[in-house]
Amino acid sequence: MFATVLKLVGRRVLAAIPILLVVSALLFCVLRLLPVDPAAMSLPPTATVAEVEAKRREMGLDQPLPQQFLIWLRDVLHGDFGRSIHLNRQTGSLVGATLPATIELALFAMALAALLGIGGGLLMFHARNTVFEAIADLGSILLLSIPEFLWGLILLFVFGVTLQVLPFTGRLSPGLPQPHITGFLLLDALLRGRFDIFLSAWQHLILPAVALALAFSPAIMRVLRSSLFDVYHEDYIEQARMRGLSERRILLVHALKNAVLPTLTLAGVQFGFLFSGTLLVEVIYSYPGLGNLMVDAVRNADLPLIQAVGLTYCVVVLVINTAVDSLYVVLNPKLRVR
Amino acid sequence: MALKLQRRAFLQTAMAIVAAASSGVMRAAAAGNDAVTIGWPNDIPSWDPNQRFTPDAQPIFKAVFDQPLDQDPQLNLVAHLIKRWSLAPDALSMAVELRDDVKFHNGDKMSTGDFRYTFFERIKSGTKLDTANSWQKVQDIVIESPTRAVMKFDSPAPTAPQWMAFLGSYLVPKRYIETAGLDTFRSKPIGTGPYKLVEYELNSRIVLERNDDYWGPKPKIARVTIQIIKDPSARVAAIQSGQVDCTVNVPVREVARFGKESGFAAELNPITRVILLQVRNDLAFADENVRLAAHHAIDKAALSKAFYGDAAVPLSVVATPGTPGYLPDFVFKYDPELARQYLARSNYGPGKPVAIGFATTNGQFPSDYDIARAIVAMWKKVGIDANLEVIEYAKYFELNRATKLPEATLYSWDNATGDPEIFAGYLLNPKMPFSAWKGMEVGQKVIDLRGVADYDRRIAGYRDLNRFAVESGATIPLLQSVLTVVRKQNLTYAKYANGWLLPQSMQWT
C-alpha cells in the first residue's frame, strides 16, 4: 500500500510541474494585461516620467511578455518571488508569514465540515421514508444556498455581538503574546505550554471555521446520503441483516465505510473551494491569513504579491488533491491492485 | 453499550469544549485601567516611518517614534525633540537645537548624528524613502554639537518647520540601523517615542507597551493593542461587543446610533482633510464656463447632510476652517440657475448637455462613490452629462502622470499641518503629481509662492491664490472631511484638529 501511495505522489509531483507552469504563465499574462503599471506603482508619486521609465527597464517591463515571464520564472527558481510594491518586503516572506494561519483555519473548518457533513448525511439517511426526510432535504438545500461570507456575518452578529460568547477579531486576545514558532498558533501554544493562548486561539478560530464549515458541509451531507442509498442496494447489506446485525451497526460499520469513498473525493474538491473561501471570511473576521493578504494586494494593485499568493493557492490545491487521492488509495483496496 | 458510552463521552467532551469557549471569552476585551484596545482600519505599510507617506498610519508611528517638532491639538507647532528652531529670513537654512535627554528604546542617546542621518544621509544613500521628496531641498546638515545643527537648503524651504511635524518626519536611530541592518530595523523597530513596539502581526495587531524611560509626559495607558479591522461593519461589531475600547471610521449613521447608547460616546470630528474635485484645464474643461457651471451646480450642504450627518463643512476654498489659508467670508454659492447661464454662454444646456468624464474611488473615504453619484445627478439637471468611472486610489498618480485622468476626479487630500502650501501649494502646482490642473495662470502663482520666505506674506499670497483658483474654476473644493470616533464613555482622548487619535493622549476616567 505504501509503495502505491508513494508512486501516486511521485506521479502527482511530476504532473504538478507543467500545471504550475501553465497556471503561473496564465496568472502572469492576466496580471500584465491589467491597466496597471508596476513600475509607476513602486515609485513615490513625485517620480518623474523618466524615473518611471528607468524603473520599468530595471524591472524588465520593457521586454516582450514571454521574456518578462522567463525573467520572473528564473527568479522564482532561485527562491525570489519578487518584492511587494506596497509593503516593500519579499512576497515569499509575506506568504510564509500568513499561510500557516490560513491552513490552520482551513483544516479546522474542513474537519468541522466533514463532521457536520457526515453526521448530517447519516441523519438524513436515517430519516428516509419518514416525515423528517422532506424537512432534512429542505434544510440541506437551505444550508447549501447560503455562502460562507453570509454565514460569517450571521455568526458574527449572533455569537459575537448579540450573545457575546465568542471573539471575532484576529487570532488571539489582547494581552496574550503571540508565540512565534511555526505560525500554527494552536501548535505553538502547545509547544510553549501555554493553555491560555491555546484556548484563546481556539476561541478565535471557532466562528470563521464554522462559517466555512456550514457553507461546505451540505454538499458532503447530500453526497453521503446518496452514496448510502446506492450502498444499501448491495447484496452484502442484505447478508448483514440475515446475519442478525443491528441496523445501526450495518449503517455505521458496513455501509458507511463504502459510502464514504465518493464523499472523500468530493471533500477533496470542496477543500480547494473552502481554501479560497477563506478570502472573504478572513476579511470579515480580521483574520491575518493569506486571504486578507490577497485582498490587500488586489486593493493596492500589488502585482508581485497577487502573483505569489495566487500561485500559493494553486500549490495548496494540488497538494490537497494529492493527499485526498492518497487517502482514497489507503481506504479503497481495489485501487491498490495493479 | 460500547456505542452508548462513546456517545456519552463525546457529548461530555463537546459540552466541556463549549463551556470552555464561552467562559472568559470577553476577558479578551476586558482591558483594565492600564490597557486599551483600539480597532484601527489599516495596517502600517512598513515599520520604517520614513518610507511611505500614509496619513492613516501617523498616529501609530507617533506612538513609537518622535518627530522633531510636534503640533498641539489646535495644530500650532510646538517644540518636541527640537527645543528651539530658527528659520533664516531667506528660508535657505534652519538652525535647530535638540533636547539632550532623549534616548532610543535600546538606551542609545539621541543626538544630531541621528538627526543628520534621518534627514540627509539615509536619503542621499539611495534608500527608497518618501522623505526623499519632502526633504529634497536639504543640501547638508552641519553638526555643530551633539544638540545643535544647521540644515542647509538649496532653495528656500519656508515650510521646513511644518514638515518637521508632518508625514514621514520621524527620527530614526543611526547606530541601530547601521549595525543591525535595515531589515532588522523594519522587523524590530526602535524609536524614541512614548511606546515601545512589543509585538506586530501583519494585518492583525500591533501591541505597544509604555516606554517608562520616555523623556516627555508618560502615557496614562501602559499597554495598547491596535487591532487591525478593515471592514467598517466589523469595527462597529467589535466596539458594540466590547472587543475593542475605541474605533474610528465607522459609518456616519452608526455615530448617531452609538450616541444614544449608554456606555458609549460617539463623535463626528471635522479634520484638516478636504474632499474636492481635481479638475483638468483641457478637454471639455478647457472652457472656464463649463468648469464654473460644474461648481455652481453642486449643492455641498446637501452632500454634507446626506452623507456626513451635516458635520462636514461645505468648503469654498481648498483649506479647512481654522487653518491659515481659509477664507471665512468667501462663499462660492450653490446656484443651479447661474450654472445654466454659464453653460448657455458656451451653447450648452439641459437640452444639449456637455459630456465630461468623472472619476471616483469607491471606499477610499466614507461615501466617496455615493457623493460622486449625487454630483452626477446634480450636474445632469443643469446640462452636464458626466460619465462616472471608478478608479483605484493607487492608480491616481499613474493616471495623472500619463494625463489619463478625466475632466474631474473626486479626491481626498490630507494635510495634518493645516499649512496652505500643503493644501493649494501641492494640489494646484502643475509641476507636482498631485495636481490634475496644469494651467500656468494658476500654476505660476503657486510656484512663485513656494519661494516666499516671509510667513505673513506667504499666507496672504495663498489666501489670494485660494480665491483666484476657485473663481477661475481651477479647483472645486467640496467638503471638510470628518473622522468618526466611537469609544467607551469612560475612555477619553485629546481631540486633534487634524484627526490624530494618539494612544498617548488616552486615559480611562
Spell out which residues of chain B touch residue A35, defining contact as CB-CB under 8 Å: 395
DSSP per residue, B220-267: S-SEEEEEE--SHHHHHHHHHTTS-SEEE---HHHHHHHHHSTTEEEE
- How far apart (Å, rounded) are the C-alpha atoms in residues A232 and B152? 89
Q: Quick check: ipTM above 0.90?
A: no
How distant is the Cα of B227 from the closest Cα of chain A, in angstroms? 7
Closest-CA residue of chain A to B426 = A46
Residues 92-121 of A with CB under 8 A from B: 94, 97-98
- How far apart (Å, rounded) are the C-alpha atoms in residues B29 and B284? 55
Q: Which of B400, B388, B386 is nearest to B361 (CA)?
A: B388
* Contact across the interface for A169 and B397, Cβ inside 8 Å: no
* Contact across the interface for A94 and B202, Cβ inside 8 Å: yes
Say yes or no: A177 contacts chain B, CB-CB below 8 A: yes
- Amino acid, res. B164: M
| Three-class DSSP category at B2 | helix
Partner residue facing A283 (CB), from B205, B231, B432: B231
Partner residue facing A46 (CB), from B43, B133, B223: B133
Residue given cell 513609537 in the structure block: B64
* Contact across the interface for B223 and A175, Cβ inside 8 Å: yes
In degrees to the nearest 10, what's the CA dihedral of A74, A75, A76, A82? -150
Angle (nearest 5°) at CA A137 between A136 and A143: 85
Partner residue facing B395 (CB), from A157, A171, A301: A301
* Contact across the interface for B243 and A160, Cβ inside 8 Å: yes
Say yes or no: A171 contacts chain B, CB-CB below 8 A: yes
Alpha helices per DSSP H over A78-166: 91-126, 131-144, 148-155
Q: Provide the β-strand partners of residue B409.
A: B278, B359
Confidence (pTM):
0.85
How distant is the Cα of A235 from the closest Cα of chain B, in angstroms? 26
Mutation target for A interface from B23, B137, B206, B241: give the one with most A CBs within 10 A.
B241
Closest-CA residue of chain B to A207 = B21
Backbone angles phi, psi at B202, to 5 degrees: -45, 130
- How far apart (Å, rounded) are the C-alpha atoms in residues B98 and B143? 11
The residue ranges of DSSP E strands in B325-371, in sequence order, are 354-360
All three cell numbers of B257: 446610533
Spell out which residues of chain A touch residue B28, defining contact as CB-CB under 8 Å: 167, 173-175, 200, 203
> How many C-beta atoms lie closer than 10 Å to residue B188's C-beta?
14
- How far apart (Å, rounded) are the C-alpha atoms in residues B163 and A301? 29
Low-confidence ranges of chain B (pLDDT < 50): 1-5, 11, 14-31
- How far apart (Å, rounded) are the C-alpha atoms in residues B392 and B176? 37
- How far apart (Å, rounded) are the C-alpha atoms in residues A174 and A284? 18
How distant is the Cα of B335 from the closest Cα of chain A, in angstroms? 36
- How far apart (Å, rounded) are the C-alpha atoms in residues B148 and A281? 54
Spell out which residues of chain A touch residue B201, defining contact as CB-CB under 8 Å: 170-171, 178, 288
**Which pLDDT tens digit goes with each residue over B380-426?**
999 999 999 999 877 788 888 888 899 999 999 999 999 999 999 99
Closest-CA residue of chain A to B198 = A177
pLDDT at B87: 95
Say yes or no: A126 contacts chain B, CB-CB below 8 A: no
Say yes or no: A150 contacts chain B, CB-CB below 8 A: no
- Provide CB contacts within 8 A for A246, sequence distance 6+: none
* Contact across the interface for A98 and B202, Cβ inside 8 Å: yes
Q: Which of B493, B496, B353 is nearest to B417 (CA)?
A: B496
Strands B408-414 and B354-360 come out as parallel
- How far apart (Å, rounded) are the C-alpha atoms in residues B481 and B276? 10
- How far apart (Å, rounded) are the C-alpha atoms in residues B453 and B159? 9
CA-CA distances (angstroms) from residue B123 to A52, B116, B130?
19, 10, 9
CA atoms within 13 A on the CB side of A215: 27
Partner residue facing A301 (CB), from B35, B227, B394: B394
All three cell numbers of A107: 483544516
For chain A, the C-alpha Rg in angstroms (whole number) is 24
User: Mean pLDDT for each 10-residue chunk of chain A (338 residues)?
Assistant: 77 82 87 78 74 82 87 86 86 93 94 91 87 84 88 93 91 87 93 94 95 91 90 87 87 85 81 85 92 88 90 88 80 66
* Contact across the interface for A87 and B132, Cβ inside 8 Å: no
* Contact across the interface for A286 and B229, Cβ inside 8 Å: yes
> How many C-beta atoms lie closer than 10 Å to residue B83's C-beta?
12
- Provide CB contacts within 8 A for A65, sequence distance 6+: A29, A32
- How far apart (Å, rounded) are the C-alpha atoms in residues B325 and B423? 9
Residue given cell 512576497 in the structure block: A91
* Contact across the interface for B130 and A203, Cβ inside 8 Å: no
Cβ atoms B55, B416 nearer than 8 A: yes
* Contact across the interface for B205 and A200, Cβ inside 8 Å: no
| Three-class DSSP category at B95 | strand
Strands B82-87 and B475-488 come out as unpaired
Cβ atoms B358, B406 nearer than 8 A: yes
Q: Name the strand (E) or helix (H) holding B273.
A: strand B264-279
Closest-CA residue of chain A to B24 = A165
- How far apart (Å, rounded) are the C-alpha atoms in residues B231 and A258? 45
DSSP B117: I
Cβ atoms B35, A174 nearer than 8 A: yes
Give the sign of the dihedral formed by CA B212, CA B217, CA B223, CA B229: negative
Say yes or no: A298 contacts chain B, CB-CB below 8 A: no
| Three-class DSSP category at B34 | coil
Backbone angles phi, psi at A173, to 5 degrees: -75, 150
- How far apart (Å, rounded) are the C-alpha atoms in residues B474 and B21? 60
Closest-CA residue of chain A to B186 = A89
Cβ atoms A38, A52 nearer than 8 A: no
